[in-house]
Chain A
């Protein structure tokens, strides 16, 4: 699974992208967030309050109930502030 992080999510995690092999039990964004939180202090800080986060699966806005699998690209970021 390819993961991308933007804005303060990237700063807290200290990386902009990575490829991970998530356990087969990780089938939704919500489960992925719980899995990632265990990976270290930066992840815990980034994912502590999921209400602050937005997610895209394969470059489309998605909810925390969206299905994810090994071939997906999943991005985490704060609410957007362009324009």
Chain B
């Protein structure tokens, strides 16, 4: 079972984690990642722009790829869009599997692909004005290990 949501509103990490547990005993490990807005360099806010439709299909393609590589039992991805201030949650990736290695690795794989392939863009707002965040070459490097 997979759930992928792109939404403006905040999410409840506890509810997302609870939904990853089927309560039937097959799941032995749940790994999750939550990305937050850092308050670097007097950042006021960050606005996330996205390409509706392509975001969902791109994420779904990477979920399908993760499912081929690891025995994933449940998976949930929530990515927020719109204007967010420091400390706010941006993204949740949660993976449930029988064992921890699959859960950890699949969560990291999905985050690396979210960062480098899913069509989202961040606009940073500071007292000096607004700037689009530039892609980081480290992020491009980090997906090479999954090839």
Interface size on B, residues (CB 8 A): 28
Residue of B nearest to A61 (CB): B117
Q: Which residues of B contact A79 (CB under 8 A)?
A: 134-135
Q: A83 touching B119 by the CB < 8 A rule?
A: no
* A26 in the interface (beta carbon within 8 A): no
Residue of A nearest to B115 (CB): A83
CA distance A13 to B35 in the complex (A): 31
New A-B contacts (17) at CB < 8 Å, excluding given A56-B54, A61-B117, A83-B120: A8-B132, A59-B58, A60-B57, A75-B51, A77-B119, A79-B135, A80-B115, A80-B121, A81-B121, A81-B136, A82-B48, A82-B119, A82-B120, A83-B35, A83-B91, A83-B114, A83-B118
Q: Which residues of B contact A61 (CB under 8 A)?
A: 58, 117
Q: A59 touching B53 by the CB < 8 A rule?
A: yes
- What is the minimal beta-carbon distance from B129 to any residue of chain A, in angstroms? 12
CA distance A8 to B132 in the complex (A): 7
* A32 in the interface (beta carbon within 8 A): no
- What is the minimal beta-carbon distance from B32 to any residue of chain A, in angstroms? 14
CA distance A20 to B48 in the complex (A): 27
CA distance A72 to B11 in the complex (A): 35
CA distance A64 to B2 in the complex (A): 33
- What is the minimal beta-carbon distance from B108 to any residue of chain A, in angstroms? 12
Q: Which residues of A contact B133 (CB under 8 A)?
A: 81
Q: Which residues of B contact A80 (CB under 8 A)?
A: 115-121, 135
* B90 in the interface (beta carbon within 8 A): yes
CA distance A49 to B47 in the complex (A): 25
